[in-house]
């Protein structure tokens, strides 16, 4: 699920459309609340003897899974062209950004780009580099919504050699250069060392709060 590849985006879009075709007709008004990845269910439908789900109960003919998988590709291609333009521009990273939306200013159109931190990421809900996305979200169906915001590898022989990374930056002030300085490195699964011994800290600073 590489960020630079088009294949993950094509697969995700195809899978999204296929899930809609498989069980939207049975669930009706309940579908939007139940629309999710549901891989075990979809595997059972496609290869586990649950193929009756592929029949559209709203039509007199009996559809099968082969028909739906092909139809889903057509719908996915149309949706991707509408969202991202020609196929030469399709990239998983462009769609699978880490949606670190600021509360509340991340939802104000004029200023949201100052507050939101949204690096391109690899991975998906079932890969090692987990980044779950909500296919029911029509505005950003492939944005990474659930991922490890902090990563840590502890060296128990020498704790100062432990490795850390978190998804945005050290500062909560969006005017600070450290507001989102870790975002790209986090997206690339890079790490930094954070020494704990005073002699290892080159420049110690003291913050004094006075009433």
Residue 206's pLDDT is: 81
> At which of 89, 108, 132 does a domain end?
89
Residue 59's pLDDT is: 94
Q: Is residue 178 part of a domain?
A: yes
> At which of 37, 55, 89 does a domain end?
89
Residue 204's pLDDT is: 67
Residue 41: strand, helix, or coil = helix
pTM (2 decimals)? 0.86
Q: Is residue 43 part of a domain?
A: yes
For 16, residues 6+ apart whose C-beta sits below 8 A from its C-beta are 76, 135, 141
Going from the first residue of the chain to its last (211 residues), give the mean pLDDT of each consecutive group of 10, the final group possibly shorter: 96 98 96 94 92 94 95 98 96 94 88 91 92 95 94 94 93 91 95 85 81 94
Q: How far apart are CA 186 and CA 196, in angstroms?
A: 21
- Quote the number of domains for the chain: 2
Domain residues for the domain of 34 are 7-89
Classify residue 10 by its DSSP letter: H
Residue 128's pLDDT is: 86
């Amino acid at each position: 699920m590489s960020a630079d590849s088009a294949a993950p985006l094509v697969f995700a879009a195809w899978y999204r459309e296929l899930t809609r075709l498989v069980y939207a007709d049975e669930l009706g008004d309940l579908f939007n609340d139940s629309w999710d990845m549901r891989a075990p269910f979809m595997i059972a439908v496609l290869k586990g003897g649950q193929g009756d789900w592929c029949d559209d109960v709203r039509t007199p003919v009996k559809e099968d899974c082969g028909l739906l998988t092909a139809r889903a590709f057509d719908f996915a291609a149309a949706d991707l062209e509408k969202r991202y333009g020609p196929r030469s521009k399709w990239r998983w990273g462009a769609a699978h950004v880490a949606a670190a939306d600021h509360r509340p200013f991340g939802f104000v159109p004029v200023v949201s780009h100052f507050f939101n931190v949204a690096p391109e990421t690899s991975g998906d809900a079932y890969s090692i580099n987990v980044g779950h996305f909500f296919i029911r979200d029509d505005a950003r169906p492939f944005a990474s919504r659930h991922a490890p915001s902090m990563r840590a590898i502890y060296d128990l022989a020498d704790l100062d050699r432990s490795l850390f990374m978190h998804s945005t930056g050290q500062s909560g002030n969006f005017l600070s250069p450290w507001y989102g300085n870790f975002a790209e490195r986090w997206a690339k699964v890079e790490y930094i060392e954070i020494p704990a011994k005073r002699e290892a800290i080159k420049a110690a600073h003291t913050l004094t709060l006075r009433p």
